Structure 1
Amino acid sequence: MEPIIGNSPDAPATDGLIVDTTTQTFTRDVIEASREVPVLVDFWAPWCGPCKQLTPVLESAVKAARGAVKLVKMNIDDHPAVAQQLRIQSIPAVYAFKNGQPVDGFMGALPESQIKAFIESLAGNIGPSPAEEMIGLGREAYEAGDLSRAAQAFAQAAQEEPGHPAAVGGLARCYIDTGDLERARQTLSLVRPDGRNDPEFTAAEAALSLAEKADDLGDIGELRARLEKNPKDHQARFDLALALNARGDKEGAVDELLMIVEYDRNWNDEAARKQLVEFFEAYGPKHEATLSGRRRLSSILFS
């Protein structure tokens, strides 16, 4: 399994889809161009922090739309006239033009899902992007246990849309499952800034943290023997939970931690409860071990 994230020769062409404009070229780049396809105008400035977050997401969404819209960027420090005419008072501000007229817009740094919905309100349903299609294939292969095929799909998605959190997270999970924690760590570092709170990325981060903790836990048989001698050896039970999770026994791992919470919920500054939360984040909100574990944890805590 040797996928490499880099520039893909199959990445969608972006020539003409994303341009910078000036006061002199605005009519050509926006007014006239919007008679062919909708044009998004990104008003920004170098000193604007949220602009630096929004622009890469806008560019990614426009590339994914594959020609359904264009993106024009305007630095209002260098070219203030148009922004003044439109009475733009704060940035980032995005205006959509169709048929030569501004028709919609928004201010602030929106997440990619909302930007895609905004684009579809202008251009109609654009369907899944090539990256989204590859991520779907990657998820299917991962669930089927085909890590090599999953890794290739996630890597191709990351080539299509560099830093995509689901692609980065999925590829990292493949490395984690093969024991290559260093490459998993390197892969996670490639996520784009707006993707750090994406559920699939945070799940991969949690999975890496768990894998790193499991490196020096000792033999499961030895841990069970310690518990037979002393069922309230919470450290042994805690280590056993991590070891079971590392072997893929999610339900068994959750059971052991729930037992600690039931015995002594405050042990080691609520370490068992906190570890359960990390398990649930790594498993994902829809996994049966998460659903069952959350119900049982709530029952213990609020009984």
Structure 2
Amino acid sequence: MDIIGGAGTAAPAGDVIKDVGEATFMQDVIEASMQAPVIVDFWAPWCGPCKTLGPALEAVVTKAKGAVTMAKVNVDENQRLAQALSQQGLPLQSIPTVVAFVEGRPIDMFQGNVPPSEIEAFVNKAIEAGGGSADGGLSEALDVAEQMLADGDVADAAQTFAAIIGEDDKSAAAYGGLARAHIALEDLDQAEAVLNGAPAEIADAAEIEAGRAQIELARQAENAGPVAELAAKVEASPEDLDARFELAQALHAAGDAEAAVTELLELFRRDREWNDGAAKAQLFTIFDALQPNDPVVLNGRRKLSSLIFA
């Protein structure tokens, strides 16, 4: 699958970073910036900070996968060009100087060495100013994959999530989505393997935690009892906390997360320490599996807090 970039034409990999001089500045910077933003690094071989800034800037531009390009101008070899640009208002007396060009004109700049976070913010700002996507279109691809999953096109969704991971192996959202696709395909072992394969840097990301919670709930659903029988059992014996917990599991397996939370809250109210705090743990598993802004989560957390601090 091809991941589509932002507005304009994404540059081929070999053209993302170029050495540019007076003869090619118009073509590789001014004209090229009509298609996609161009970051121009004015540097010199004797410049110490340039030796650190240049590679850091190249890394960020390369990561954007064509949503932005980079032109490197050696001011020692292109003194007439630097002088002409200075006369047009670009302060090139101090280097390194980095300028972002969008649609043929400079829109932002900085001088001197800056932290990697500021470099990334600078490049992303240029991409967004050019109407593109700072992540090379991966956000749009994620939206497409999520819609596929919602529409029941599970296999295509899984393929799309996998393609996104191929482009960005630190995308926690893609790992979580691929795990959910395998859950939908009832392949829980593969879903677990996907999450276990996520890089350590994102192992605690919310999307990964949500996937693990969804797998746990799906495994519980495989052994869930009949809702009607369990509901009747709880009604006949409200103090039967084992039955109430099983009812909550069955309700969630049947797709009624709100009712499952209600039963667990009641169980917690009756005995918060039952089975080593199993009701509270199950509530957090359900909350983790849902979107943070889901009404079931918001209401459930509020009611649980009221019980805890009552």
TM class, shorter-length: 0.5 to 0.7
Structure 2 residue matching 1:155: 3-state secondary structure: helix
1:253 to 255, 260, 266: 260
User: Do 1:245 and 1:253's aligned partners in 2 also have CA atoms closer than 8 Å?
Assistant: yes
Of 291, 299, 302, the residue aligned with 2:306 is 299
Distance 1:153 1:123, change over 3 A: closer
Q: Which amino acid aligns with 1:68?
A: V
Are the aligned partners of 1:69 and 1:123 in contact in 2 as well (CA < 8 Å)? Answer: no
Q: Is contact 2:3-2:141 (8 Å) kept?
A: no
The change in CA–CA distance for 1:160 and 1:263 in structure 2 (over 3 A counts) is: same
* Residue in structure 1 matched with residue 85 of structure 2 by the alignment: none
Q: 1:240, 1:14 → 2: CA distance?
A: 56
Gaps of 5+ in 1: 1-7, 19-27, 44-54, 71-95
Match of 1:194 in 2: 201
Name the amino acid aligned to 2:279: A
SS at match of 2:179: helix
Q: Residue type matched to 1:63 in 2?
A: K
Normalised by the length of structure 2, the TM-score is: 0.64
Work out whether 1:184 is the aligned partner of 2:183: no
Judge conservation of contact 2:213–2:289 (CA < 8 Å) in 1: yes
What percent identity do the matched residue pairs reach? Answer: 32
Residue 215 of structure 2 corresponds to which residue in structure 1? 208
Q: Who is 1:105 aligned against?
A: 114
1:279 aligns to what?
Answer: 286
Letter matched to residue 161 of structure 1: D
Partner of 1:133: 140
C-alpha distance in structure 2 between counterparts of 1:138 and 1:9, whole Å: 13
SS in 1 for 2:274: coil
Task: Tell me the CA shift for residue 258 of structure 1.
Answer: 0.8
| TM-score, with length taken from structure 1 | 0.65
- Distance in 1 (CA, whole Å) between partners of 2:124 and 2:218 is 40
Aligned residues: 246
Q: Helix, strand or coil: the match of 1:37?
A: strand
Contact 1:64 1:129 in 2 (8 A): yes
Task: Tell me the alpha carbon deviations over residues 163-188 of structure 1, each in whole angstroms, 9 at most, x when there is no partner.
Answer: 42111101111211231101111222
Deviation at 1:272, TM superposition (A): 0.8
CA contact (8 A) 1:165 1:192 kept: no
Aligned equivalent of 1:119 = 123
Distance 1:222 1:175, change over 3 A: same
* Higher mean displacement: 141-150 or 245-254: 141-150
Q: Which SS does the other structure have where 2:276 is aligned?
A: coil
TM-superposition CA deviations, 1:151-173 (whole Å, max 9, x none): 34323322332342111101111
Of the three residues 34, 37, 45, the one matched with 2:39 is 37
Inter-CA distance 237–228: structure 2 relative to 1 (3 Å threshold): same
Provide closer, same or farther for how the CA distance between residues 188 and 115 of structure 1 changes in structure 2, counting only shifts above 3 A. farther
